[in-house]
Amino acid sequence: MLTPTLTSTGNWFPILDAQQAHRDLVNAITFSNRFDFCGETHTLAPGFDWLHNPSTDEEWLILLHKFYYAAGLGRAWHDTGDIAYRDKWVELTEAWIAGTPIGFLSSDVAGRRIQNWISAWYFFAGAELPDGFRDRFFTSLTAQADWLIDNLSPARNHRTLELLALFLAGVALSQERWLTFAKHAIVENICADFHPDGVHIEQSTDYHHIVLRNALAVRRLAAMNEIALPAEFDVVIRRALDFALFVHRPDGQIPSLSDGDSGSFLDLLEQGFALYGDPRYRWVATGGTAGIAPTERLKAFPNGGYYILRSVWRDQNDSYLVFDCGPLGAGNHGHFDLLSFELYGFGRPLIVDPGRYTYDESGSTNWRAAFRGTAFHNTVLVDGRNQTRYEFHKRKFKVRGPAPEFQLLGFGTRDGYDFVSGQAASYEYDVLHQREIRMMDGGRSFVILDELRSPTHHHYEQRFHLVDPQAVRQGSSSVRALGLQLHQHNPGVDCRVDAGCISQTYGSKQPAAVAVFSQSGTNVQFETHLELMP
């Protein structure tokens, strides 16, 4: 085991999660022993069992052990001088050391805990602490890092965050072994983590930005300490920043495509500007108050399969649409949502991707399976079935069949309108689905053209998830919603509005309305006109 250096010669900074280290959450822990994770609050009295989960959701216990709140406690103590924050940090850290095996839970949990313990130390290093606490703290921290380096995740976003933790620990604690290993391994992993077009290989907009944030932290630490990284590392980061640039909606939020939450990662674009000087990053990060606006209204990311239409680069009232015509994704975070889209206009989201809500499959409704399914997306549902076979296997639902085939048919401008067109062929039914979306009138209207061809009879549902169910009104062939009217031009199509739900953050869901246009047959067409209203 390495002997930790208590005074570091490296230059480093704390890494705080804005949500998990929020002062309100930290105050609830400090003064009431209330821990709020994943939309659930549990009161844990001093001396609680760290190995017991009071929730049915494993993610709750994972967040407890990741210790994001440790960095929040450090910042709160630094800002206020209230020793209650310091005492709570010492109490929880001492209790974890005394009651938890080093390898409890997965390696990504250890990685985040190492990051958060070091970030807490950034604030508490000058505090008056109990006798022997420093030694116990650094002995445990060193043991955790040594365990982590031997138990890294094999690939993707977990490996990236674990390597960031080792890189940060190497800099902050002057441990060359961790630093050298992490430096080489993280470059290799980041280069494998993104498609050539800059989209993360798991196809989640949220995880894309989490991995990008980790990579930028490594890049900033390297710059601060004059640690050379290969030029390829910067090339990959620049591509990932470009996807972040275009996928943010005009209101500065990202759509929650595949697993993940919505939210804003504009601070990453600000970091990108500081590192690389690209004025487009600054323009988007500042909402157009500085920098230079991008010039491309239409942007294709063909490897990731995301295609973005934007009316203009002006302000929050711009129209924006992101279309999915790409792979299911590596790992287990992809949703069954080929040819789905999200639409924004006149300052608000209009048709939204519902997000992920939860990874927990317990309870009378398997919300994990529901939110991942085709019915929870803005595409055409065939016979009520998912585009990919998704079945219960052993302990939980798993993908049990091949992903559907997809092909981009067109993307660009013609006859005075912008368009994107693609097709999907599922192995679950004998239907070829072709969809074209046209942006008309400078983004004030859109046309959705769906053609479904099959040698056999099927029931088809064209589905659109609307944000505010209270504002939705149904007509015989149309649906009126807040800021939007949908009208079905094809005769013989049934129209209804279903109750649905969407999720912006993990563990929290809100009611939504689902506009459904349906018909049955072999070869059918839908022509749906969307009129945006201020």
The DSSP annotation for 147-215 comes to HHHTS--SSHHHHHHHHHHHHHHHHHTT-HHHHHHHHHHHHHHHHHHB-TTS-BTT--HHHHHHHHHHH
How high is the pLDDT of residue 10? 80
- Mean pLDDT across the chain: 96
Give yes or no for a contact between 199 and 239, defined as CB atoms under 8 angstroms apart: no
pLDDT at 9: 66
CA–CA dist 344, 351 (Å, integer):
7
Burial of 220 (0-12, 13-18, 19+ CB in 10 A): middle
Spatial CB neighbours of 59, under 8 Å, sequence gap ≥ 6: 37, 38, 358, 359, 360, 506, 507
Return the beta strands (E) in 311-389 as ranges: 320-324, 341-345, 348-351, 380-382
**What residues form DSSP beta bridges with 517?**
462, 495
Show Cβ contacts of residue 100 under 8 Å, excluding neighbours closer than 6 positions: 50, 51, 65
| pLDDT above 70 for 178 | yes
Domain membership of residue 6 (yes or no) is no
Question: Would you say 533 and 289 are in contact if contact means Cβ atoms under 8 Å apart?
Answer: no
Q: What is the mean pLDDT of residues 27-54?
A: 97
Distance CA 171, CA 217 (A): 12
**pLDDT given for residue 6 in this prediction:** 44
pLDDT attached to residue 4: 42
Say how far apart CA 149 and CA 87 lie, in whole Å. 30
Q: At what angle do helices 107-124 and 133-149 cross, to 10 degrees?
A: 150
Using the predicted structure, report yes or no on whether residue 5 has a pLDDT greater than 80. Answer: no
Domain assignment present for 359: yes
pLDDT at 7 over 90: no
**Total of domains in the chain:** 1
Token digits for 200? Answer: 């993360």
Burial of residue 455 (number of CB atoms within 10 Å: 0-12, 13-18, 19+): exposed
Cα separations (Å) of 411 from 257, 378, 408?
Answer: 20, 19, 8
Mean pLDDT of 273-293: 98
What end-to-end distance do the CA atoms of the chain give, in Å?
64
475 in a structural domain: yes
**Distance from C-alpha of 305 to C-alpha of 326, rounded to nearest angstrom:** 4
Total residues belonging to the chain? 534
Q: Read off the tokens for 308.
A: 């973005």
- Within 10 angstroms of residue 100's Cβ, the number of other Cβ atoms is 16
514 close to 465: Cβ distance less than 8 angstroms:
yes
- CA-based nearest residue to 528, from 470, 461, 471: 461
Q: What H or E segment, with its residue span, contains residue 30?
A: helix 23-32
- Could you give the CA distance from residue 291 to residue 310 in angstroms, rounded to a whole number? 19
Looking at residue 253, what is its pLDDT? 98
Encoding tokens for residue 311? Answer: 């009316």
Q: How far apart are CA 353 and CA 342, in angstroms?
A: 6
529's enclosing H/E stretch is: strand 524-532
Helices (H) and strands (E) in the chain, counts: 13, 21
Model confidence at 373, in pLDDT bands (50, 70, 90)?
very high
Domain residues for the domain of 353 are 298-532
Task: Let me know if residue 521 belongs to a domain.
Answer: yes
**Residue whose entry in the numeric block shows the structure tokens 């005074």:** 7
Amino acid sitting at position 6: L
Looking at the chain, the whole-number percentage of residues with pLDDT higher than 90 is 97
Whether the pLDDT of residue 250 is over 50: the answer is: yes
- 211 lies in some domain: no
What pLDDT is attached to residue 240?
98
Total Cβ atoms within 10 A of residue 219: 20
Closest CA to 325 of 349, 344, 345, 301: 301
* Residues near 322 by beta carbon (within 8 Å), at least 6 away in sequence: 247, 255, 257, 306, 307, 308, 309, 341, 342
Indicate whether 307 belongs to any domain. yes
Q: Which residues contact 449 (CB under 8 A, 6 or more apart)?
A: 435, 436, 437, 438, 525, 526, 527
Q: Identify which of 514, 526, 416 has the alpha carbon closest to the alpha carbon of residue 465.
A: 514
Question: How many whole angstroms separate alpha carbon 38 and alpha carbon 59?
Answer: 7
**Which of these, 418, 248, 423, lies nearest to 326 by C-alpha position?**
423
Region 417-440: mean pLDDT is 98
Tens of pLDDT, residue by residue over 293-304, are: 999 999 999 999
Q: pLDDT tens digits, residue range 463-473?
A: 999 999 999 99
Question: Nearest 5°: phi and psi at 333?
Answer: -110, -5
Indicate whether 364 belongs to any domain: yes
**DSSP code at position 441:** G
Q: What does the alpha-carbon distance between residue 248 and residue 287 come to, in Å, rounded to a whole number?
A: 11
CATH code at 524?
2.70.98.70
Q: What is the pLDDT of residue 8?
A: 57
E-strand ranges in 207-351 read: 298-301, 306-310, 320-324, 341-345, 348-351
Does pLDDT of 2 surpass 70?
no
